[in-house]
A = this chain, B = another copy of it.
Amino acid sequence: MQTSIPNWLMQRAFLTPERIAVYDGQGKKTFMELHESVMKRARQLANTGVRKGDIVAIFMKNSVAMIECIHALHYIGAIVLLQNTRLTSHELAWQLKDSGAVYVIADDELADRIEGNIRVITMSELSALPEENVEFQQYYHFDDIATIMYTSGTTGKPKGVLQTYENHWWSAIGSALNLGLNENDCWLAAVPFFHISGLSIMMRSVIYGMSMYVMRAFDAKKANELIIGGKVTIMSVVSAMLQKMIADLGERRYPETFRCMLLGGGPAPKPLLEVCKAKGIPVYQTYGMTETASQIATLAPEYSLTKLGSAGKPLFPSQLRIEKDGQVARPYEPGEIVVKGPNVTKGYLHRPDATAKAIRGGWFYTGDIGYIDEDGFLYVLDRRSDLIISGGENVYPAEIEAVLLSHEAVEEAGVTGIDDETWGQVPCAFVKRKRGYSVTVEQLKQFCQAHLAKYKIPKQIYFVDELPRNASQKLLRHQLKQLIPNNENGAL
């Protein structure tokens, strides 16, 4: 029999009605107040015609209203498709069409970016709608899909990752069993809810009965104030955010109330970790992805000295191993990171082939490369071999290459990540022009702007005569960096 848990926010509103669920710059809401706002929004959504089982997209920036919309859709029993607000109209339209979403709820100022045959509900429109009675989901069934998030992959075609209620539940429980659970916890959500790093904070909030503080956009100064003031006890960051916070922090120190800086989004630069150690910042390095509904391994700070650079061990309900040539690798032998656990996705929306390729024998093949030391600590070497992580955003070379290749002057294109002080990595492109065509770097960047979110646009574009390929003409992205003129190498 499948597990069903009483509707999470509803149960919280019943069990701990007066506890604070959410703060933002302006005010706060208790779990009961949040539940009441959510019921209202659910009835307004019902008025527009949203029904149980519908896929409804959300195209919003972090806000209490966004949290309410996600919960409201779950109250109705709809599936929430979370869309990155940095996508171009074209990227967004493709994903909406692929998913079969019937509605998209959007911030007013983002609504004009939505194209295609889909019903757009702006927040001001929604807020003005009359309420219509609708049956609320009294239980969340573990097998049901709660959310969908698109990720690209080595093929370059974005895929919708299915996240069940079970995935979110176990992710939250696994995290609590590792990080603990204190009565006064307040988790700062300065990462977007359309990413799993942000959404998982929202899920933990209702499952734990824990306060969260919502930031519309990351603000290093404000984040430091919240931590120093004792308001925030845990925060999720990527390296770029942490770097800005440390720059702003100066000689100040965080108080003891701040107990966890959860650092994800790709391997962290060692100098950054060393600075954190010196400043006594309790950094928990973590490894996770959309497909694992957030963390699957996390390093406890007690090991931050001895295991510097490691992403730690799996969370209690999960497992992790390294495979090389179909065999479990020996300690220190690099190979593909393979994971298992009730927080791991069942697969991709409408992609049985991609699902079958990624999930084999109950294990999910991440495509990421790493090794495990003799004590069982994971070290991530490379994300999905050619994945670029720029400021916490996943950037897939194949997607950028596809755009470049659609330009009439481009014959071949290869993209790889290069180190960047601010963003960790940025994409860098290598282009072979067609004979008889001329195009400038600037023109290609402008072309990319029309088709790609800003963070995906190559920071550098080099024209080359030939791209490195293997015998079967497969592009060798790892060798691209060698094409960078020597005097520029490392200076980017």
Interface residues as binary, A376-420 with B (CB distance below 8 Å gives 1, 0 otherwise): 100000000000000000000000000000000000000000000
The docked-state distance in angstroms from the alpha carbon of A5 to that of B376 is: 18
Bound state CA distance, A487 and B180, in angstroms?
Answer: 56
Choice from B180, B183, B207 contacting A316 with Cβ under 8 Å: B207
Q: Is A15 an interface residue (CB 8 A)?
A: yes
A6 and B319 contact, CB distance less than 8 A: yes
State in angstroms the CA–CA spacing of A6 and B321 once bound together: 13
Q: Is A3 an interface residue (CB 8 A)?
A: yes
CB-nearest residue of chain B relative to A173? B173
- Among B12, B181, B313, the residue within 8 A (CB) of A180 is B181
A176 contacts the other chain (CB 8 A): yes
Query: Interface on chain A toward B: helix, strand, loop, or mixed SS?
Result: mixed
A313/B176 contact (C-beta < 8 A), A6-B319, A319-B6, A342-B3 known: no
User: A14 an interface residue at 8 Å Cβ cutoff?
Assistant: yes
Is A209 interfacial (CB 8 A cutoff)? yes
CB of A182 closer than 8 Å to a CB of B: yes
* Structural contact, A183 and B180, CB atoms closer than 8 A: yes
A6 CA / B317 CA spacing, docked (Å)? 7
CA distance A11 to B208 in the complex (A): 23
Chain A: interface residue count, which band? 20 to 34
Say yes or no: A313-B15 contact (C-beta < 8 A), given A177-B209, A182-B180.
yes
How many whole Å from A31's CB to the nearest CB in chain B?
12
0/1 interface trace, chain A 152-194, chain B, CB 8 Å (1 if under): 0000000000000000000001001100111100000000000
Give A405 Cβ to nearest chain B Cβ, in Å.
41
Distance in angstroms from A50 CB to nearest chain B CB is 27
Whether A376 and B209, one on each chain, are in contact in the complex, defined by CB atoms closer than 8 angstroms, is no
**Which residue from B3, B14, B181, B183 sits with its C-beta under 8 Å from A313?**
B14
Residue from A173, A177, A316, A317 having most chain B Cβ neighbours under 10 A: A316
- Are B15 and A316 in contact (CB-based, < 8 A)? yes
Q: Within 8 Å CB of A180, what residues of B?
A: 180-183
Interface residues as binary, A1-43 with B (CB distance below 8 Å gives 1, 0 otherwise): 0010110000110110000000000000000000000000000
A208 contacts across to B, CB distance below 8 A: 177
Chain B residue contacts of A173, Cβ below 8 A: 173
The answer to whether B313 touches A376, judged by C-beta atoms less than 8 angstroms apart, is no
| Alpha-carbon separation in the docked complex, A314 to B15 (Å) | 8
Residues of B within 8 A of A177 (CB): 176, 181, 207-209
Point out the residues of chain B lying under 8 angstroms from A342, CB to CB.
3, 5
Residue of B nearest to A319 (CB): B6
A3 contacts across to B, CB distance below 8 A: 3, 342
- Considering the chains assembled together, what is the distance between the CA atoms of A345 and B349 in angstroms? 36
Question: 12 extra interchain contacts, Cβ-Cβ under 8 A, other than A15-B316, A176-B181, A180-B183?
Answer: A3-B342, A5-B316, A12-B316, A14-B313, A14-B376, A173-B173, A177-B207, A177-B208, A180-B181, A181-B181, A207-B316, A209-B316
Cross-chain pairs A/B with CB under 8 angstroms, 22 sampled: A3-B3, A3-B342, A5-B317, A6-B316, A6-B319, A11-B316, A12-B316, A14-B376, A15-B313, A15-B314, A15-B316, A173-B173, A176-B176, A176-B177, A176-B181, A177-B181, A177-B209, A180-B180, A180-B181, A180-B182, A181-B181, A209-B316
- A-B interface, 7 closest residue pairs, ranked by CB to CB distance from nearest: A181-B181, A180-B181, A15-B313, A5-B317, A180-B183, A3-B342, A180-B182
